[in-house]
Structure 1
Amino acid sequence: MATLGNRRPLLADALANSELVVERAALEAAIAAMAEPIARDYAGEVPVYLTIMHGALPFSGLLALELGELGLDLEFDYLHATRYRGETSGGELVWKHRPATALYGRRVLLVDDILDEGHTLLAVREWCLEQGATDVRIAAMTVKQHDRCVPGICADYVGLPVPDRYVFGFGMDYHEQGRNLPGIYALKD
């Protein structure tokens, strides 16, 4: 397999060994559908809208615009916590950036690209509650279909299911590549 700078596999090779599992139109429709219950649940409030970087960036931007169309104002911030660091399997959680917005007494909406096993989202949610957030909900663009999720974590708002395979595109990476692909791909093996 060819590599980029002799360090990591090329995205072109991954795409050749993948199938498109979610097209852009389906992603956009799912985001629009997710926005309605979120706007209803936060009506009259301004939640802290925490994007989990880098993967949630495309999803978060589109969801925020949909919420704005529905009249929901948001206070934007972000965090960067990762277990992957460019790898295909997770390790220890590393905080690269914590939100600057005070969470004490606030409702928080965590926005992430995928709920896989849930280790990162569980740790982030617990951290938000430790900071004094009164309510922390999760909007996940995708949820991987398996039974390995850690106890005590689930998404409150879900876009689409994805297969229990390595997925990338639409924010999710393949060795830090392919985040800007307009659809979601799954490796065949």
Structure 2
Amino acid sequence: MSDLQAALANSEVIHDRATLDAAIARMAERIGDDYAGSVPLYLTVMHGGMPFAAQLAFALGERGLDLEFDYLHATRYRGATSGGELVWKHRPATPLQGRRVLLVDDILDEGHTMAGIVAWCREQGAADVRIAALAVKVHDRCVEGVCADYVGVEVPDRYVFGYGMDYHEQGRNLPAIYALKE
């Protein structure tokens, strides 16, 4: 049995596809209202943010909001289940000076990675930096001052995977969010 099959056998669905689709639609309404009349720089945080970012971008397009796309890849995990030092694999090519930036990621857990990303965006002169996270983990270990401006769903303080989040680099393309049983 593969690692992913074993994980699925020992997990439960926390949020199914229909729930996530509805959450993304709600987020798109708020984001569309907040960015009306502007074209934000839409930065997908790779790899985990890609499935969510694509769905959210389409929902924003349906509401008439144009986006300028770029991406970044910064990680503290590199396949592990706990983080280390922030490692940049790709920085956006688009200048951030004076821009409204929307960072789009799969999950906001404690926020160490996102804190580094937000700080870098501000150092680059971004006029406004906001965070859209499909999932936010519920616990009291968050980095002070780092929170998502737009949240799809909350997830328990357990190992979660699917819809961009991986289980040892597997399962990012599962169309639901799973949590390992305690």
Q: Given the two structures, how large is their TM-score scaled by the length of structure 2?
A: 0.98
Residue correspondence of structure 1 range 151-170 to structure 2 within 5 A? 151-170=144-163
Query: Where do 5+ consecutive residues of structure 1 fail to align?
Result: 4-9
User: What is the CA-CA distance between 1:61 and the residue it aligns to?
Assistant: 0.2
Provide the C-alpha distance between the structure 1 equivalents of 2:179 and 2:55, rounded to a whole number of angstroms.
22
How many equivalent pairs are there? Answer: 182
One-letter code aligned to 1:17? N
User: What is the CA-CA distance between 1:41 and the residue it aligns to?
Assistant: 0.6
CA offsets, 1:38-94, max 9 Å, x none? Answer: 011111100000000000111000000000000000000000000111111111111
The structure 2 residue matched to 1:57, chosen from 50, 75, 78, is 50
Provide the C-alpha distance between the structure 2 equivalents of 1:22 and 1:67, rounded to a whole number of angstroms.
22
One-letter code aligned to 2:71? Y
Provide the C-alpha distance between the structure 2 equivalents of 1:140 and 1:180, rounded to a whole number of angstroms.
17
Sequence identity (%): 74
Q: Secondary structure in 1 aligned to 2:18?
A: helix
Q: Which residue of 2 aligns with 1:127?
A: 120
The structure 1 residue matched to 2:179, chosen from 169, 172, 186, is 186
Q: Secondary structure in 2 aligned to 1:43?
A: coil
Provide the C-alpha distance between the structure 1 equivalents of 2:17 and 2:83, rounded to a whole number of angstroms.
27
Q: Secondary structure in 2 aligned to 1:185?
A: strand
Residue correspondence of structure 1 range 28-177 to structure 2 within 5 A? 28-177=21-170
One-letter code aligned to 2:58? L
User: What is the CA-CA distance between 1:160 and the residue it aligns to?
Assistant: 0.2
Provide the C-alpha distance between the structure 1 equivalents of 2:80 and 2:20, rounded to a whole number of angstroms.
25
- Structure 1 runs, 4 residues or longer, greater than 3 Å off: none
Q: Given the two structures, how large is their TM-score scaled by the length of structure 1?
A: 0.95
One-letter code aligned to 2:21? E
Query: Where do 5+ consecutive residues of structure 2 fail to align?
Result: none
